[in-house]
Amino acid sequence: MTIAVVTGITGQDGAYLTELLLEKGYTVYGTYRRTSSVNFWRIEELGIDRHPNLHLVEYDLTDLSASIRLLQTTEATEVYNLAAQSFVGVSFEQPLTTLDITGAGAVNLLEAIRIVNPKIRFYQASTSEMFGEVQAIPQIETTPFYPRSPYGVAKLYAHWMTINYRESYGIFGTSGILFNHESPLRGREFVTRKITDSVAKIKLGKLEVLELGNMDAKRDWGFAKEYVEGMWRMLQVDEPDTFVLATNRTETVRDFVSMAFKASGVNLEWSGKAEGEKAVDAATGKLVVTVNPKFYRPAEVDLLIGNPSKAKEKLGWEPKTTLEQLCHMMVEADLRRNEAGFSF
Ligand code: NDP
Ligand code: GDR
């Protein structure tokens, strides 16, 4: 029975990856942070919170000694580092906290691997945010990086340290450069889920207007459940490497808004530009979307689109769910939750 550590089990990817590993017969040690009110809603929603092969471990990625003890006590042979301060917007307000967790935190685990068991296979959750001001279209594994946020810079540090530990100490350190991936388990601070949750609330009369920031940003959005399968595949091949996971399709935030309203049966009419942009319900003329500049970022990543050909060739990984299907799934889930009076 393979033993895996998944850091960040309370997050979107941690929950889906744990579900996948349990299905494959793994014993999983899922880490969560001590907070005044720990939230296991995602693993509860997936129905895996009481699985006999799942062990929940209190752990903070910023603590080197805790990282060493985590690997000693669990005797894991695979470590998936999904924990991070992962919200780009917040990283501008908390750059040093983001550096500690998202950047240096990965090195705590790499050091622990070096000390406890250099044979452990390590997955680092790298990101398309490292491409930032993109230097090529579409982006692939060898596209030069140009991060545009403290989050992107911190992730780039962790990415290169993973490669450095691979080259310096022969550690199986693999980095997955994942483009945005979403699901009904996505946090509500991220734009897709903010949109689908708001669409559900507007539909049910619980919210008047959805306020957003930059509507022109283009993202390559895939389905998180498929992306965690790619993470697992990356640790099953013979050699550590770097892989892009993406859909090779990009759409604007505005497109996703229209798609989500359509999924709830509402067609939009757009007008205005930049801060004056808005959308009304085409059937009733009621205002439903406006721009609030407080959601703009000091520096923006305008366009992301990834080419996952290497992952297809070497891992047999391919995205299957379309953006329309994903958006529909998220709107349905948020309608169901809001109707039931429950929405995390
Ligand atoms: P989430 O924000 O949903 O989850 C992040 C997890 O990290 C949470 O469980 C959080 O715990 C935990 N965490 C935060 N700080 C610490 C800490 N100091 N010590 C231990 N755990 C901590 O992210 P996702 O699931 O969406 O993403 C997973 C990883 O993949 C992240 O590293 C993210 O940066 C990266 N990534 C995500 C992409 C995406 O589109 N989703 C794309 C590319 C990369 P808590 O619940 O207590 O806050
Ligand atoms: P991103 O995701 O920054 O790409 O990082 P997010 O969903 O936060 O933003 C996507 C784009 O939407 C624009 N936007 C808004 N974003 C938010 N959150 N809220 C708004 O109201 C809003 N209005 C417009 C943003 O400016 C941006 O251009 C995510 C995270 O999961 C990272 O951890 C991960 O590494 C990357 O995806 C790949």
Same structural domain, 44 and 92: yes
Residues 132 and 265 grouped into a single domain = no
Structure confidence at residue 302 (pLDDT): 98
Model pLDDT, residue 50 = 97
Question: In this structure, are 257 and 118 located in the same domain?
Answer: no
Q: How far is the CA of 333 from the centre of ligand 2 (A)?
A: 20
- Active-site annotation holds for 62: no
CATH value at residue 137: 3.40.50.720
Kindly give the parts of the chain with pLDDT less than 70. none
- Nearest of 239, 237, 250, 238 to residue 317 by alpha carbon: 237
pLDDT score, position 342: 79
**Is-contact 283 267, C-beta < 8 A?**
yes
Q: Among 83, 231, 78, 104, which Cα is nearest to 160's? A: 104
Q: Report the share of the chain in percent with pLDDT over 70.
A: 100
Q: Which helix (H) or strand (E) holds 19?
A: helix 12-23
Number of folded domains in the chain? 2
Do 156 and 279 fall into the same domain? no
| Interface TM-score (ipTM) > 0.90 | yes
Residue 199 structural domain? 191-216+252-301+328-340
Could you tell me if 41 and 126 lie in one domain? yes
pLDDT, residue 36, reads: 85
Cα–Cα distances in angstroms (integers) from residue 41 to residues 79, 262, 330, in the given order:
23, 28, 16
What pLDDT, on the 0 to 100 scale, is given for residue 193? 98
* Residue 135 burial class via C-beta count within 10 angstroms: exposed 0-12, middle 13-18, buried 19 and up: exposed
Which ligand has the minimum distance to the alpha carbon of residue 91?
Answer: 2
> What angle in degrees, to the nearest 10, is found between the helix axes of 191-203 and 253-263?
30
pLDDT digits (tens, 9 = 90+) for 120-159: 999 999 999 999 999 999 999 999 999 999 999 999 999 9
Pocket test for ligand 2, best of 98, 182, 186, 191 (most atoms within 8 A of CB): 191
Supply the pLDDT for residue 344.
81
* Same domain, yes or no: 203 and 240: no
Q: Which of 7, 127, 196, 321 is catalytic?
A: 127
Active site residue 127: yes
Output the domain CATH number for residue 272.
3.90.25.10
Residue 263, number of CB atoms within 10 A of its CB: 21
Is residue 322 part of the annotated active site? The answer reads no
Q: What predicted TM-score, i.e. pTM, was given to this entire model? A: 0.98
Distance CA 304, CA 181 (A): 12
pLDDT of 343: 72
Give the CB-side neighbour count of residue 300, counting CA atoms within 13 A.
14
If asked whether residues 88 and 169 sit together in one domain, one would say yes
